[in-house]
A and B are shown apart, each in its own frame.
Chain A
Amino acid sequence: MNHHAWLAALTGELRRHGVGPDLTGHVVAEAATHLRESGEPPLRVFGPPEAYARAVADSLGGPDLRPPRRQPGPVRLAAQGVTKRYRGRTVLDRVDLTVRAGEIAAVVGANGAGKSTFLRICAGMLSPDAGTVRVHGTLGYCPQDGGTAEFLDPDEHFVLVGAGRGLDRGAARRSGRAGAAALDWAPPAGTQTRHLSGGTRQKLNLVLAGLGEPDVLLLDEPYQGFDRGTYLDFWHEVWRWRDAGKAIVVVTHLLNQLDRVDIVLDLTTPGERRA
C-alpha cells in the first residue's frame, strides 16, 4: 500500500471513528509529514489504517482515566523576551514562556519557525541576542537527534548520565530500565547504540532526559521514529511526569495532542499563519 492510498484509507477510517474534519486533517497531515520525512512504508510505521484510526480516536475521544490534575505549582521555567537572529533574519522575536510545576507546554510552529532554537536557548546551549531564561530546579534535555554515544550500550548510558545526577551505578541502571519499561522497551544488555534503530535510540534519548528526576524537561520532538504504540506510551509518560509535578516543554508538530497540554506556544508568525 503506497502513501497516498494509506492516507486516503486513514481519512475514511478517522471519519468512521467520529473524529472531526479539522482534527482528521491535522492527523493526516502529520502522518503524511512523518512518512515523507522518514521514507518508510506506512504499514510498517503506523500499521493498518483502521487500527491506527481506532488508536487515535481512543486516545483523543475515549474517557480520560488519568487521575485528576493537581493545581499547577510554582514557576519552574520562565523565558522572557527571547530574541534570536540568524544572518539578519529574526527567528525568535521577544518570545515569552512561563511553565509551572505540573504543566505541559507545547511549542509549535512551521519548519524553521525556531522551535528547536528556542529549546536550545532554554537549555543554555545557545545564547539568544536578547532575553533571559530562569530555571527553578534541575534541567533535563532530550535533543531531536544525537545526544548518545555510538559505542556505549543503554546501561552504560544510564550509568554515565546517572553519575552526573549523583546516582550510583545500581540506582542509575534501575532508574533507566524503569524509564525504558514505561516506553515498552527492555534495553538489550551489551547492544551498542550504533546497532539500535532510530526509534529505539530516541527512546534511549528520552529515558536519559528523565533520569535523576529533573524538575524541568525540555523535549525536542523526541518521538521521531516512534511507532504508534510507543508514541502513545510517550504521551502517557509525559502526562505521568506532569502529574509528578514536573514542568515539561515539548517541541511538536503533531497538533492532535494539543488538547492534552496546558500551554501552547505558537512560533508561527502571523504572516506564515495566513499563508
Chain B
Amino acid sequence: MTKILVVAESALRELLRRRSVLLILLLLPLAFYLSRRGDYLGQSIRFVCLGLGWALSTAALFAGSAARGMEPRLRLSGYGSLHLVLGRLLALWTVGVLLSAPYFVLILVDQHDVRYGAIALIMALTVAVAAPFGLLLSAVLPRELEGTLVLLTVVGLQMVMNPANNITRALPFWFSREIGTYAIDHTDGGYLSRGLTQGVAVAVTLTVLVAVAGAVRLRQRRHLRFA
C-alpha cells in the first residue's frame, strides 16, 4: 500500500506542477458549459460532464506517456506493475474530483429543478472512466498525438451520435447522456439504472485493461531469471 501511495503522491505532484495545463483543464469544461448555457440549460450540464471527461482523459493520456521513461526503472527498483498503475490512477482520480467539485457547485447555483444527486453520480462515473481511458490510450498508442486524436474522435462521436442508437453504448461516456436525461428531464429510473450499469461496467473494464496493459508492458522477460 505504501508503494501505491508514494507513486500516487509523486504523480499528483507532477500533475499539479503543470500549472498551465491545469488551468486549461479547469477552463475546458467551463467552455463546454457556457457554449450551451444560453439556449438550453439541461444541455449545458451534459456538455460540462463531457468536457470533464475529455479534460481528465487528456491529462491521463499525457501523464501515462510522461511516465513511460521512468516506469522500467521503478519496476527494477521493486515496484510491481499494479503499484504503478493503481498509484497513477489514484492521483488522476483525485485530480478528477478536484476538477469536478467547482462545476458541481456551479450547477447547484446556476441550475434549478434538476436531480443534483444524479448529476454528482455522472461526475463520479466520468472521473472513474476518464482516468483509465486516458491511461489505456497512452499504453496502446505510445505517441501522444495519436492518442489525442482518438480522444477527439470519441468525444466528438459522443456529442453528435444519437444516444438511442445501440452502437453508442460502446462509447465510454454514454452513461452521461442517459443519467443526464434522468437528472434533467426527470424521466423514469430506467435511464438511471441503464446509465449506472454501463458506467460501472466501462470503469471496471477500463481499469482492468489498464492493469493488464501495464503488466504486459512491464513484465519480467522470460530470458531474465533472478536467483
Closest residue to A127 on the B side, CB-wise?
Answer: B221
Contacts of B79 in A (CB 8 A): 164
Closest residue to B70 on the A side, CB-wise?
Answer: A149
How many A-B pairs with Cβ below 8 Å?
Answer: 92
Q: Which of A113-156 contact B (CB under 8 A)?
A: 121-128, 131-141, 143, 146-152, 156
Contacts of B185 in A (CB 8 A): none
Say yes or no: A151 contacts B14, CB within 8 Å. Answer: yes
Pick the contact of B17: A164, A166, A192 (CB < 8 A). Answer: A192
Bound complex: CA A132 to CA B70 (Å): 25
Bound complex: CA A156 to CA B158 (Å): 40
Say yes or no: B77 contacts A136, CB within 8 Å. Answer: no
Contact with A along B192-227 (1 / 0, CB 8 A): 000000000000000000000000000011111111
Main secondary structure, interface of A, reads loop
Bound complex: CA A136 to CA B67 (Å): 28
Binds A, one of B1-9, B91-99, B101-109, B130-138: B1-9
Interface residue? A165 (CB, 8 A): yes
Interface residue? A97 (CB, 8 A): no
Q: List 13 A-B contacts (CB under 8 A).
A: A123-B72, A125-B72, A125-B221, A126-B221, A132-B224, A133-B225, A140-B77, A146-B70, A149-B66, A149-B67, A151-B18, A152-B14, A165-B77
Say yes or no: B76 contacts A139, CB within 8 Å. Answer: yes
Say yes or no: B225 contacts A135, CB within 8 Å. Answer: yes
Say yes or no: B224 contacts A149, CB within 8 Å. Answer: no
Say yes or no: B13 contacts A134, CB within 8 Å. Answer: no
Bound complex: CA A121 to CA B223 (Å): 8
Write the residues of chain A forming the contact surface with B, with a CB cutoff of 8 angstroms. 82, 121-128, 131-141, 143, 146-152, 156, 159-161, 163-166, 192, 208, 211-212
Bound complex: CA A143 to CA B224 (Å): 18
Contacts of B67 in A (CB 8 A): 149
Contacts of B69 in A (CB 8 A): 146-148
Say yes or no: A140 contacts B76, CB within 8 Å. Answer: yes
Least distance between B105 CB and chain A CB atoms (Å): 29
Say yes or no: A161 contacts B74, CB within 8 Å. Answer: yes
Say yes or no: B77 contacts A161, CB within 8 Å. Answer: yes
Contact flag A135-B10 (CB < 8 Å), given A164-B3, A164-B74, A208-B73: no
